[in-house]
């Protein structure tokens, strides 16, 4: 584990621990307060499990008033708060602090209203992403953003991280699909941003808090829009003799005026790994595969499939299969979705990176990653949300070999720096958290960061809400840690990750 500088511990708060625990019992049912060491342990980390820290106390409030009273009390008494949804985040956004109250939203687990007429769902933030779709699919509706951890991640956490999924190019990320929130600020003020209407006036506070990683307020209610499921969905599985050809094919599809629902590229090491693991039936004699998913009306999808087929041929595809039914389409995805566990099978440990790059830079970035792989002496496999440019290199290493984790982290940081160099960004969907915090100055200068810290001040002038996350504490660039998986023992290893 790398050394991580976190905000200074407030000893006076820790000295008052017993009194604070007692006081908190005034604001919620005492059974919602967890202060014994054993009870606290499950909250010591999120899915970035290389980093652990037990909080001072865990509180699981049940309603907005309780959240408001707890925050107000903590604000008045200078006690730090770390909010937490399902704890599936990959960047350490919910990592506790030794002197914090960890505020878990797990009891906010009810869908409050399904409103088909206004095409929205009002829900508590602890409800899982997939439950939203489950709640409306009987009427043919769904909630569009589909992060890979959707069976477990909460909608509140999705808003904190602005989660995406494989369909972001066509359907947007969380920010394009959330209509309103009820939010509690650090001083206990309760506010509503947005609602069942399409937009709000004044500053776009809803847009600002989406993706703010729990630094600006605590969500207690969420309104999301729901969409009608497309009539038809089909996919093509394409193979190429070079990554360049697959990347060019993606560019040509988009230049040809087609916006597929999803596009995914896997490189040769990953194809081999997933095929050995999931027996997905991918072609083995290709350097890259590309999955293209198209949706719309039946005839529209058929036309688009034909066009994509032509574009693929022009780009020298050597393998082409079109899904005949939904079962086959899902099989195309099966291997892709098995990417992470497959790598876990091949290597005792791996780190997952999450940069976004301009699509046309894919081949260049992959070449650089191969070079870096040789330089650092570690294997790597790559999957790429080609539609939206989000790249997930999986760096393989063995933590039992001294210095390999450090080497892997250095390799990861080098990849992210290169992503920024070619015009991309540090993180597409996992968030900055603590993981990429110290790389922020690769993208922003002091003035940019200061402006963002000033915005934070407007919401939380004492900087008590989730401090130490997203923005560098020491204003210097260092290599951060990454999602670290040891012996396939990733936190929530049953949750799909892609």
Partner 1 sequence: MPEIYSPSSEHEVADFIKNCNSQEIPIEITGHNSKPIGRLIQCSKSLNLKNLSGIIEYFPEELYIKVKAGTPLALIEAELDKKNQELSFEPSDMGFLYNGKSNKGSVGGAVACNLSGSRRFRAGALRDHILGFRGINGKGEIVKSGGTVVKNVTGYDVSKLITGSYGTLVALTEIVLKVQPKNEESQTLLVNNINLKKALNIFSKSMQTSVEISGACFYPAKMSKFFKLNDLDTTTSITAIRLEGPKISVVERVNTLKKLFDEYKKTISVLENYQSRIFWQNTTDLQFFNNSPNVVVKIILPPVNTDQFINKFENEELKYVVDWAGNLIWAEIPENDSVLLRQLRTEVIKLDGHMTVIKAPNHVRIKEDFLTTVDENIKVLSLKIKESFDPKKILNPGKMYSGI
Q: Is 264 exposed, middle or buried (0-12, 13-18, 19+ CB in 10 A)?
A: buried
- CA distances for 312 relative to 151, 247, 295, 319, 387, angstroms: 34, 11, 18, 9, 15
Q: Does the footprint of partner 1 cover residue 162 (CB under 8 A)?
A: yes
- Which residue, 357 or 378, has its beta carbon nearer to partner 1? 357
Q: How far is the CB of 352 from partner 1 (least distance, A)?
A: 15
Exactly one of 11, 31, 38, 117 binds partner 1 (CB under 8 A); that residue is 117
- Which residue, 3 or 255, has its beta carbon nearer to partner 1? 255
Exactly one of 123, 158, 168, 466 binds partner 1 (CB under 8 A); that residue is 168
Token pair in block for residue 273: 């790994």
Exactly one of 312, 470, 485, 490 binds partner 1 (CB under 8 A); that residue is 470
Q: Does the footprint of partner 1 cover residue 221 (CB under 8 A)?
A: no
Pick the closest to residue 466 from 146, 169, 201, 185 (CA basis). Answer: 185
Q: How far is the CB of 95 from partner 1 (least distance, A)?
A: 17
Token pair in block for residue 301: 């999808």
Q: How far is the CB of 382 from partner 1 (least distance, A)?
A: 16
Give CA–CA dist 122/108, Å, rounded.
12
Q: How far is the CB of 166 from partner 1 (least distance, A)?
A: 11
Q: Does the footprint of partner 1 cover residue 299 (CB under 8 A)?
A: yes
Q: How far is the CB of 151 from partner 1 (least distance, A)?
A: 21
Give CA–CA dist 87/107, Å, rounded.
14
Q: How far is the CB of 19 from partner 1 (least distance, A)?
A: 30
344 φ, ψ to 5°?
A: -60, -30
Give CA–CA dist 273/353, Å, rounded.
18
Q: Does the footprint of partner 1 cover residue 175 (CB under 8 A)?
A: yes
- Which residue, 34 or 122, has its beta carbon nearer to partner 1? 122
Exactly one of 89, 156, 214, 428 binds partner 1 (CB under 8 A); that residue is 428
Pick the closest to residue 188 from 75, 78, 68 (CA basis). Answer: 68
- Which residue, 34 or 224, has its beta carbon nearer to partner 1? 224
Stretch that binds partner 1, among 47-55, 168-176, 284-292, 331-339 (CB under 8 A): 168-176
Give CA–CA dist 171/227, Å, rounded.
10
Q: Is 222 in contact with 124 (CB distance < 8 Å)?
A: yes
Q: Does the footprint of partner 1 cover residue 14 (CB under 8 A)?
A: no
Q: In this structure, how many other beta carbons lie within 10 angstroms of the beta carbon of residue 375?
A: 12
Give CA–CA dist 224/319, Å, rounded.
40
Exactly one of 40, 254, 363, 477 binds partner 1 (CB under 8 A); that residue is 254
Exactly one of 61, 126, 211, 260 binds partner 1 (CB under 8 A); that residue is 211
Exactly one of 80, 84, 329, 359 binds partner 1 (CB under 8 A); that residue is 359
Q: Which helix (H) or strand (E) holds 129?
A: helix 129-136
Pick the closest to residue 350 from 288, 394, 414, 403 (CA basis). Answer: 394
Q: Does the footprint of partner 1 cover residue 496 (CB under 8 A)?
A: no
Q: Is 114 in contact with 121 (CB distance < 8 Å)?
A: yes
* Helices and strands of the chain, counted as H and E runs: 16, 20
Q: Does the footprint of partner 1 cover residue 427 (CB under 8 A)?
A: yes
Exactly one of 54, 316, 360, 407 binds partner 1 (CB under 8 A); that residue is 360
Exactly one of 454, 474, 476, 494 binds partner 1 (CB under 8 A); that residue is 454
307 φ, ψ to 5°?
A: -65, -45
Please, which of residues 85-114 interact with partner 1 by CB under 8 A? none
Q: How far is the CB of 212 from partner 1 (least distance, A)?
A: 5
Please, which of residues 137-156 interact with partner 1 by CB under 8 A? 139-140
Exactly one of 92, 147, 239, 389 binds partner 1 (CB under 8 A); that residue is 389
Please, which of residues 18-37 interact with partner 1 by CB under 8 A? none
Q: Number of residues interacting with partner 1: please give it, by CB under 8 A.
A: 92
Q: Is 20 in contact with 56 (CB distance < 8 Å)?
A: yes
Q: Is 191 exposed, middle or buried (0-12, 13-18, 19+ CB in 10 A)?
A: exposed
- Which residue, 38 or 201, has its beta carbon nearer to partner 1? 201
Give CA–CA dist 475/393, Å, rounded.
27
Please, which of residues 261-280 interact with partner 1 by CB under 8 A? none
Q: How far is the CB of 359 from partner 1 (least distance, A)?
A: 6
Exactly one of 4, 81, 169, 178 binds partner 1 (CB under 8 A); that residue is 169
Give CA–CA dist 355/388, Å, rounded.
11
Please, which of residues 180-209 interact with partner 1 by CB under 8 A? 185, 189-193, 195-205, 207-208
Q: How far is the CB of 197 from partner 1 (least distance, A)?
A: 5
Residue-wise DSSP of 38-84: HHHGGGS--S-TT-----SEEE---SHHHHHHHHHHHHHTT-EEEEE
Q: Does the footprint of partner 1 cover residue 231 (CB under 8 A)?
A: yes
Exactly one of 63, 297, 400, 403 binds partner 1 (CB under 8 A); that residue is 297
Please, which of residues 121-140 interact with partner 1 by CB under 8 A? 139-140
Q: Does the footprint of partner 1 cover residue 228 (CB under 8 A)?
A: yes
């Amino acid at each position: 584990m790398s050394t991580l500088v976190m905000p200074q511990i407030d000893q006076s708060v820790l000295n008052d621990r017993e009194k604070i625990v007692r006081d908190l019992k005034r604001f919620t049912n005492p059974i919602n307060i967890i202060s014994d060491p054993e009870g606290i342990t499950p909250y010591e980390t999120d899915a970035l499990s290389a980093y652990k820290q037990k909080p001072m106390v865990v509180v699981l409030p049940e309603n907005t008033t309780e959240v408001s009273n707890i925050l107000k009390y903590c604000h008045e008494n200078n006690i730090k708060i770390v909010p937490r949804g399902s704890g599936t985040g990959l960047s350490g956004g919910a990592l506790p602090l030794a002197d914090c109250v960890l505020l878990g939203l797990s009891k906010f687990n009810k869908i409050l209203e399904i409103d088909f007429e206004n095409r929205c769902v009002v829900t508590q933030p602890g409800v899982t992403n997939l439950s939203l779709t489950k709640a409306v699919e009987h009427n043919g509706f769904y909630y569009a953003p589909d992060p890979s951890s959707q069976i477990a991640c909460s909608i509140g956490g999705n808003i904190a991280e602005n989660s995406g999924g494989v369909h972001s190019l066509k359907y947007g990320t969380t920010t394009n699909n959330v209509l309103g929130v009820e939010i509690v600020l650090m001083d206990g003020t309760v506010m509503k941003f947005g609602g069942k209407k399409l937009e709000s006036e004044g500053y776009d506070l809803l847009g600002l808090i989406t993706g703010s990683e729990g630094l600006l307020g605590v969500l207690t209610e969420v309104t999301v829009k729901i969409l009608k499921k497309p009539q038809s969905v089909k996919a093509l599985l394409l193979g190429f003799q070079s990554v360049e050809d697959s990347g060019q094919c993606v560019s040509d599809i988009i230049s040809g005026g087609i916006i597929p629902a999803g596009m995914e590229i896997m490189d040769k090491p990953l194809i081999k790994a997933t095929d050995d693991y999931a027996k997905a039936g991918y072609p083995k004699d290709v350097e890259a595969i590309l999955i293209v998913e198209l949706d719309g009306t039946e005839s529209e999808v058929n036309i688009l499939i034909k066009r994509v087929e032509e574009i693929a041929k022009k780009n020298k595809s050597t393998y082409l299969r079109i899904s005949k039914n939904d079962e086959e389409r899902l099989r195309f995805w099966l291997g892709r979705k098995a990417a992470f566990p497959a790598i876990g099978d091949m290597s005792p440990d791996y780190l997952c990176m999450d940069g976004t790059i301009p699509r046309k830079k894919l081949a260049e970035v992959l070449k650089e990653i191969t070079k870096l792989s040789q330089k650092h002496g570690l294997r790597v496999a790559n999957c790429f949300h080609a539609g939206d440019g989000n790249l997930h290199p999986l760096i393989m290493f063995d933590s039992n070999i001294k210095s390999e984790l450090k080497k892997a982290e250095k390799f990861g940081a080098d990849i992210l720096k290169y992503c920024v160099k070619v015009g991309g960004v540090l993180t597409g969907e996992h968030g900055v958290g603590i993981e990429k915090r110290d790389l922020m100055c690769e993208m922003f200068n002091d003035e940019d960061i200061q402006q963002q810290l000033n915005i934070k001040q407007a919401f939380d002038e004492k900087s008590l809400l989730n401090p130490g996350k997203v923005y560098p504490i020491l204003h210097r660039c260092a290599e951060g840690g990454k999602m670290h998986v040891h012996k396939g023992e990733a936190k929530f290893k049953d949750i799909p990750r892609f």
